[in-house]
Amino acid sequence: MKFVSVSELKQTASAVMREVARGASVVVVRHGKPCAAVIRLSSDDLDQLLFEDSPLVKQALDEALDDLRHKRSVTLKEYLRGKRSP
């Protein structure tokens, strides 16, 4: 794992990105303290990250769990016929 200062990252961003693309992880430090990490990220990783942090997804999951707890559910067949919830 490589450590770079913020100013060094500004000057060598392209080189750092090439290293990360090859699999290296880079920790960015500001005033000697870690403040960020640069890691390789696939499109699947990005999708997962965005999905997990989405407030809309969290809200939908909370609502779905509440519906299940209160027995407000329908079968797939009922849903496809237009019945939404009891």
**CATH number given to 2-38:** 3.40.1620
Average pLDDT over residues 22-30: 96
CA–CA separation, 24 and 55 (whole Å): 31
Residue 82 CA: distances (Å) to CA of 46, 77, 85: 34, 9, 9
- Parse the chain into domains and list their residue ranges: 2-38, 43-80
Degrees to nearest 5, angle at CA 49 with 43 and 52: 140
50-86 confidence digits (pLDDT tens): 888 888 888 888 888 898 898 888 778 887 887 665 5
Which residues are paired to 33 by β-bridges?
A: 30
Quote the pTM value.
0.58
Reading the block at residue 56, the tokens are 């809309």
CA–CA separation, 22 and 39 (whole Å): 10
4-21 confidence digits (pLDDT tens): 999 999 999 999 999 999
